A and B are shown apart, each in its own frame.
Chain A
């Protein structure tokens, strides 16, 4: 061991502590994150649709005593700046923060992937090409000439399979040997006119600054009229760049790619026929939408019906646990106050939430299947017509669909939308897609008041949430268009058009699905252990202390005093009870806390058990809180302001305090209006 270290020191001239920064870049859905996970042991989300990664993620691993820092970047098709994530990726690899670029390509789709490769080579940084998904290439009976391809490109090429973890060592070996080898940037030789202009610009750039390297890249970008490069260009080249040569440059690159593919790809095949067969059903002209509705219906049926049957087991455990803790506390003789805090506060607050784990796990399992199979991208196509009518592109449907799981990643997914307005609109309506945290509330309230129609009542929340989202986007678009008409009366309103790659269908990968589900369960558990735990303790204090100190009767507590302030406001919605006021405020921390707070408010340790339910129903009934009030409460909770975590990510994405405040108030007012409207109308009939 020590000998080895000694030798390394000699070999690397004492630079053994040196860090190497490696940037993973490539087309969307080419498996960068899977490769990143394979090296770093991270468990970042992977799925089968373009645009899963929207943020750059960093990780490190040790390779032969060296620390290699890996950066996983959002997928891009080219080095232009088209959407937000493309800008992020390009700026990052152009910066000094990357020493070696690993171009991750989908080898089963070489023709399109090589376009970015050629641009990366022109950039002049050390590049290693990783041919990912080689297992798929072999399965299809294709072969890639691994000898000829690096010859033609002038950079090392390594075949890997990120899912099967093959070729990983060889790839890093190539990286370590090529960290200081700069490729020949003249990989594409353009026509005489363009080459002549490149030559002129290069000379002028070198005259201006002899230190500047990759002049060819900048010259090409200038000829493409790239706005960012044009602005930052220190010298005037307008006499040389008399027009945009972009189309010609792109065409010449593709001509070369066709030559390369022709030469290195043996047994080039039409893509698997399976995808076409599945698509003829799932993206059918007429049946596409009904099938999608059916799939989502099935997902929620699983979540509520199957989840509920598994949940019974968890409730049994919680009952036992509660009794066991109470007995334990009695034997060690803790005082009544501490016992109350633990039993009425923590067990009632946190424990209840844990019994909903089966529902949550099933929902995320179903979503994982949708995402990993390749269906997710199809939904944008199927729903494009509907989305166009409300002024959005079908692309905006992905954030909405993810919103059924959790608003936080859903809001971040809105980054893939090209246009700032579309992003704002999508972020505004995503919280209306009922998230998994609201499941406990639906299960509890509908189970208590709607008997055999409980599942239907819970279901209806998803539908009215979805409809409210569409309605909001529609109205916002109308307002925008009016404003536009006032500014420029001639132009007709533009909807940003759908443009998305549809990946091949694949059998969902057990490992990526288990990661997906486990990471979400972990997030739920840690939320129970942190936010919900803390909220429960605070709630207990607020409800058990009053002006006179510790109070037995909660109606004398500080909580009750606060809750009573809200009674007049909530009364028109049928929620004029101080207890409801308290739990709705508490729900801002996390929606599950609404359920926790009810457990504490009504002194029921296991609120979700059969006994707990009937006890609470009686208590509520005596208060005058019936089925209509319960439904009104569900509507309010569906629509009102998202939790703190979601608000934080909305603020981060919108980068505007004003708009974040707007989202906050909008949802609150919308929730109030909707529940008042429902309660008043329902009151007329009942």
Chain B
């Protein structure tokens, strides 16, 4: 579904966006990328939407809400999220980043690395 069809107060995971540059670039820089968890907060009569993204509220116009695709949060998303990454994944020198990053680029954030 698209963001304008989503329900107020519920959390969703973003899928593809069909935004055009330069709005796409701006929203991505703000952290709206594939696999991000967002919460739809409110929708105005004209279709503008307030949503919570990485701890910040944003207001966007209705045309933008129609091109942001989201899906419902599944139980496994929550489980992966709560499990977290834990401490000591890195040793601070940057070693070990490469391997994990490679894995993450192939799949969305919430999916377990094989």
A→B interface (CB under 8 Å): 77-78, 80, 82, 109, 111-112, 115, 148, 151-152, 184, 186-192, 195, 246-248, 250-252, 254-256, 258-259, 262-263, 271, 275-276, 279-280, 283, 285-286, 288, 377-378, 380-382, 384-386, 388, 393-394, 418, 495, 497-502
**A77: contacting residue among B29, B60, B90, B109, CB under 8 A:** B29
Max chain A CB contacts within 10 Å: which of B41, B56, B97?
Answer: B56
Contact between chains at A82 and B85 (CB < 8 Å): no
Q: Is the CB of A498 within 8 A of B61?
A: yes
* B52, B62, B101, B102, most chain A CB atoms within 10 A: B101
In the assembled complex, how far is the CB of residue B83 from the closest CB belonging to chain A, in whole angstroms?
A: 11
Contact of A381 among B44, B86, B87 (CB under 8 A): B44
In the bound complex, residues from chain B placing their C-beta under 8 Å from that of A499 are 23, 26-27, 58-61, 64
- Is B46 interfacial (CB-CB < 8 Å)? yes
Majority secondary structure, A binding face? helix
Q: With A112-B54, A190-B101, A279-B50 as given contacts, are A380 and B59 in contact (CB-CB < 8 Å)?
A: yes
A49→B1 CA distance, assembly (Å): 31
Known: A246-B25, A384-B46. A109 touches B101 (CB 8 A): no
Set B42, B89, B94: member contacting A189, Cβ < 8 A:
B94
User: What's the least CB distance linking B26 to chain A, in Å?
Assistant: 5
> What are the residues of chain B within 8 A of A186 when measuring CB–CB?
94
Partner of A251 from B34, B43, B55 at Cβ < 8 Å:
B34
Query: In whole angstroms, how far apart are the Cα atoms of A109 and B36 in the complex?
Result: 16
Residues of chain B within 8 A of A252, CB atoms compared: 101, 104-105
Interchain nearest-CB distance for A310 vs B (Å): 37
Within 8 Å by CB of A502, from B55, B57, B94, B102, lies B57
- Across-interface contacts of B89 in A (CB, < 8 A): 259, 263
Those of B62-113 within 8 Å (CB) of chain A: 62-64, 84-87, 89-90, 92, 94, 97-98, 101-102, 104-105, 109
Question: Which residues of chain B have C-beta atoms less than 8 A from A192's C-beta?
Answer: 98, 102
Q: A252-B105, A283-B44 are in contact. Are A381 and B94 (CB under 8 A)?
A: no
Minimum C-beta distance from B40 to chain A (A) = 12
- Among B26, B57, B92, chain A packs the most CB atoms within 10 A around the CB of B57
A497:B57 contact, CB within 8 angstroms = no
Whether B28 is near chain A, meaning CB under 8 Å from some CB there, is: yes
Structural contact, B55 and A109, CB atoms closer than 8 A:
yes
**Cα distance, A152 to B94, chains bound together (Å):** 8
Instruction: Tell me whether B33 is interfacial, beta carbon within 8 Å.
Output: yes
Chain B proximity of A186: nearest CB distance (Å) = 7
Q: Does A381 lie within 8 Å of B25, measured CB to CB? A: no
Instruction: Give chain A residues whose Cβ lies under 8 Å from the Cβ of B64.
Output: 497-499
Q: Evaluate contact between A111 and B50: CB separation under 8 angstroms.
A: no
Asked if B45 contacts A385 (CB within 8 A), the reply is yes
Known: A109-B54, A393-B61, A497-B64. 12 other contacts (CB 8 A): A82-B25, A248-B105, A255-B101, A262-B85, A279-B42, A283-B42, A285-B42, A378-B59, A394-B48, A498-B59, A499-B59, A502-B57
Q: How many residues of B contact A (CB 8 A)?
A: 49
Indicate if the CB atoms of B101 and A263 lie closer than 8 Å. Answer: no
Q: List A contacts of B86 (CB < 8 A).
A: 262
Cross-chain contact A112 with B31 (CB below 8 angstroms): yes
Q: Flag if A80 contacts B29 (CB, 8 Å).
A: yes
Closest approach, in angstroms, between the C-beta of A38 and any C-beta of chain B? 24
Check A276 against B55 for contact (C-beta < 8 Å): no
Residue in chain B with minimal CB distance to A151:
B92
CB distance from B109 to the nearest CB of A (A): 7
Chain A nearest CB from B37 CB (Å) reads 11
Measured between beta carbons, the chain B residues less than 8 angstroms from A80 are 22, 25-26, 29
In whole angstroms, how far apart are the Cα atoms of A386 and B57 in the complex? 21
How long is the Cα–Cα vector from A192 to B100 in the complex, in angstroms?
12
Taking a contact as CB atoms closer than 8 A, the residue among B42, B59, B102 that contacts A377 in the complex is B59
A248: chain B residues at CB < 8 Å are 105
B55 proximity list for chain A (CB < 8 A):
109, 111-112, 271
Q: Which residue of B lies closest to A377 (CB)?
A: B59
A20 CB to nearest chain B CB (Å): 29
Evaluate whether A288 and B44 lie within 8 angstroms (CB atoms) in the complex, with A246-B28, A247-B28, A251-B105 already known. Answer: yes
Q: Is the CB of B54 within 8 A of A111?
A: yes
18 CB < 8 A contacts A-B = A77-B26, A78-B29, A82-B25, A111-B55, A151-B92, A186-B94, A189-B101, A247-B33, A255-B101, A258-B109, A263-B85, A263-B87, A271-B52, A381-B48, A385-B44, A388-B62, A498-B60, A499-B59
CB-based contact A111/B48 at 8 Å: no
State in angstroms the CA–CA spacing of A501 and B43 once bound together.
15
Task: Report whether A285 and B28 are in contact in the complex, using a CB–CB cutoff of 8 Å.
Answer: no
B57 touches A501 (CB 8 A): yes
Closest B residue to A77 by beta carbon equals B29
- The CA-CA distance from A192 to B104 in the complex, in Å, is 12
Q: Are A501 and B28 neighbours in the complex by a CB distance under 8 Å?
A: no
Judge whether A497 and B60 touch: CB under 8 Å.
yes
**CB–CB A497/B31 < 8 A:** no
- A502–chain B nearest beta-carbon distance, Å: 4
Taking the nearest CB of chain A, how far is it from the CB of B18, in angstroms? 13
Do B44 and A285 touch (CB < 8 A)? yes
Give the docked Cα–Cα distance between A502 and B60 (Å).
Answer: 10
A385 to B33 alpha-carbon distance, docked (Å): 26
Enumerate the 8 nearest inter-chain pairs by beta-carbon distance, A residue then B residue, closest first: A385-B46, A497-B61, A78-B29, A498-B61, A381-B59, A502-B57, A151-B92, A111-B54
